[in-house]
A = this chain, B = another copy of it.
Amino acid sequence: MLGNSLSISKEYLKKVIKPGDTVIDATCGNGLDTLYLKELTGKEGKVFGFDIQDIALENTKKLLKEKGQEENVFLTLCSHSELDKYVCEPVKAVVFNLGYLPKGDHSITTLPETTIVAIEKALQILIPGGIISVMIYHGGDSGFHERDELIKYLERLDNKRFTVLMHNFINQINYPPILAVIEKKK
């Protein structure tokens, strides 16, 4: 019943996103989240996707094509810290899946400095009632630095404007990812 960080994130996104909404996948990776977001926003909705690796956007495009879900998906090869250059409209949800590309080069990872800039920009265009889901990988070859910096940042978010809820599976081996969900108050 409790599931895992991914199933919890998907449940929140499903609750919040309605057909026709505009949303962002801040870390396309292999496209699984992009596809899920596209399915939730439907034909009329828009998904903006970002990644700094060519291979990630190629994999994402391929997956969307396979599933017939390419329409109204806008992929950009750049850091999510520049998302404000490409998305000017209000968004209902933003998804961050931090760390390295699954099955990719483990030396290319998200960094707390740019992740925090990206979250900051995402919060500005987030619709009240909208959410940002941040999957934080830690331990193993991800280390703890990004997790610790992010948590410090999230703890300081204005409680009058935002609610931050952390989900942490604490008795598992191999450091399962921590899920942070930020809601903009209405």
Least Cβ distance of A173 to chain B in Å? Answer: 6
User: CB distance A154 to B171 under 8 Å?
Assistant: yes
| Identical copies of this chain, number | 2
Which residue of the partner chain, among B15, B162, B169, contacts A163 with CB atoms under 8 Å? B169
Interface of A: prevailing SS: mixed
Chain B residues near A156 (CB, 8 Å)? 171
* CB nearest to A157 among chain B residues: B171
Interface size class of A (residues with CB under 8 A): 20 to 34
Contact with B along A126-156 (1 / 0, CB 8 A): 0001010000000000000000000100111
CA distance A167 to B171 in the complex (A): 14
In residues 104-132 of chain A, which contact B (Cβ within 8 Å)? Answer: 129, 131
